[in-house]
A and B are shown apart, each in its own frame.
Chain A
């Protein structure tokens, strides 16, 4: 009797192919690293819009206070000195449903910004935060273009791109939470291991007994920031990030090879052009000979 193997031949070949390609394109095991990564929960059902998180963020990170930024309750935008914003948004399908949206860097599990920074100034730390090294940043703003949530903003005074760091510099000082979470008076913000935060978000949604949506589990391949919303992000006026988890590096190789294929076709067309069109010089030389 044929012994049943643990994996079949096809699965084995697939696994081996994956293992051989993975180091070449710089893949890391996100699933394994997930357990030790921190995350932040923003519960828009609980948020009262006091904006203490905004001022705490400014205090801790020594950010400048900009004109009009606390006046508006609807259109406060992220900037080089505004890493966290709170805006009142209503559900497009149900206008009576109005919630305060806490919006900041989502700290993607596979950050597109870090993948495009030409000088490797952006890093995803092992503990979860995605951090810009401001002393290295050249201010090209390519990270802003690549970010699925359009978060990193240019600081015109410092001439670098800046964004939320999830207060990673508070951990060595034994502060257990980011400044915004510590300042929240109603517990709308929470901080902990990402998997625990996801569990907490699900629990809160279950306890609410209302329809809702948990943003950050799958968006852009998963994010450290988990937001509890009353409706889908696009209905709440937030940017809808693609849910598919694509391998950014393989995708880049695919697109670039498209360009190189075009270049090869152009080179072949030039070769044909140089052969098909009669060369007057050659003609003249031939005739003189």
Chain B
């Protein structure tokens, strides 16, 4: 009986398995983190200048990576709202993964900013003491702080039933910690009743959605408010940021779900597989919408004498290869065929390849957007290079590696992998009650 109800242990070390490939993966990530550490140490010992290829283009790789990660994280929050707010229950099976992925993406995006700032330690102090309500960065910071709080709470609500089950199956200190985390001792309090109320889940989901989409729009406004940067200026980018963030979010989610199931021994549940193919179709549609946005932007921009110059840099200037090759072909056109073909033929490799293309193209697109936007009006002659310095690349690799490491660990520790019996949040309270009853039986027997 005890064997039957004992919940499968997910302690970090047990769950990580003893696969050789897993250790190789972790070693690779740690090596990249070491390189990043070296670059950061070098920047402290020598000068922060080694992380920038030109003083005239102070926002380059770090800022574009920040935009890439944070936008994808916010896009995931919007996708999550399909299940949590708009009642599409089939999306709820991925709820935990979406919340955790979104949280880690935004945290590591913010790490890029912290590494880029001259004095990051002053940021929380003066943002609290003397915020500038006329500044988009100030609003963005406030909205993302709120967003992190709501998504953190959402993730907690989603993993609470799991933690509860684990606390029942564990003993000693782990049990104490899990009991504290699940607030088991206060199960009759108003707070716990509120946490277990499905309506509260929906409220938190809605707040996270509102904070996420507003923060994302504000991220676009950070660039769009700079009147002197004609490529960025105007209401186009706050809107485009939302569309591009959603397709990046979909691509991240599909890739992470496929990798998670392909690296494990358990087969992918049919429910998840069918959802992936549905998401692939939505992603293809969003890419088409994104292409429409780009076309409108280019066409209208070319008629505007102020925007012609920076746009021509993209169309036939030093950023031509990045724009046509990556942003248009690799990000907007080619993946549409892969995704639609994969969804129709039920081919996961094809969908996976399409999503990889989207993310690669989107990363380059963010870089081009940030760097090309700073050429006008003050750089009259082409710079020798527009590529990030080697040290900056090391730092970026380190940020990505740390993100992947945390995600890999989180995936195992928080048991994000979807199973065919994955419960929906509404049903989670029933499960808790069921387990309380069962644990009572166990205690009696013991």
Contacts and interface: CB of A to CB of B under 8 A. Distances in A.
A281 interface: yes
A179 B369 CA distance: 40
A148 B376 CA distance: 11
Prevailing SS type, chain B contact patch: helix
Given A119-B122, A258-B238, A270 B82 contact: yes
Interface stretch (A44-52, A53-61, A133-141): A133-141
Contacts of A144: 58
Contact of B224 (A77, A140, A160, A255): A255
Interface residues of A, number: 64
Given A138-B126, A144-B58, A148-B227, A252 B217 contact: no
Contacts of A207: none
A119 B126 contact: yes
Interface string A252-274: 10111111111101110011011
Contacts of A182: none
B228 A150 contact: yes
B227 A139 contact: no
A259 B218 contact: yes
A259 B220 contact: yes
Contacts of A112: 226-228
Contacts of B228: 112, 145-148, 150, 241-242
A263 B217 contact: yes
Contacts of A150: 56, 228, 377-378
B364 interface: no
Contacts of A266: 78, 213, 242-243, 246
A256 B137 contact: no
B132 A156 contact: no
Given A280-B274, A282-B89, A252 B134 contact: yes
Contacts of A158: 118
Nearest to B278: A277
A260 B130 contact: no
A26 interface: yes
A163 to B, nearest CB: 13
A16 B26 CA distance: 66
Interface string A91-129: 000000000000000000000100111111100000000
A83 to B, nearest CB: 14
Contacts of B213: 263, 266-267
Contacts of B113: 140
Interface in B242-290: 242-243, 246, 274, 278, 282
B141 A251 contact: no
B229 A262 contact: no
Contacts of A159: 48, 118-119
B110 interface: no
Given A146-B228, A270-B78, A281-B89, A256 B118 contact: no
Nearest to A139: B118
Interface in A150-198: 150, 153-154, 156-161
B119 A120 contact: no
A145 B229 contact: yes
B136 A252 contact: yes
Interface in B111-141: 113, 116-120, 122-123, 126-127, 130-132, 134-138, 141
A95 B210 CA distance: 58
B3 interface: no
Give the one of B56, B132, B141 with max A CB within 10 A: B132
B377 A79 contact: no
A254 B234 CA distance: 9
B81 interface: yes
Interface of A: 26, 77, 79, 112, 115-121, 136-142, 144-148, 150, 153-154, 156-161, 237, 239-242, 246, 248-249, 251-252, 254-263, 265-267, 270-271, 273-274, 277, 279-282
15 contacts: A119-B123, A140-B117, A142-B135, A150-B378, A154-B118, A160-B119, A240-B377, A246-B227, A259-B224, A266-B242, A266-B243, A273-B88, A277-B88, A279-B88, A280-B274
| Pairs of residues from A and B, 10 with the lowest C-beta to C-beta distance, nearest first | A139-B118, A259-B238, A258-B235, A262-B239, A159-B118, A259-B217, A119-B126, A274-B86, A118-B137, A150-B378
Given A140-B117, A266-B213, 4 more contacts: A119-B127, A136-B122, A140-B118, A257-B235
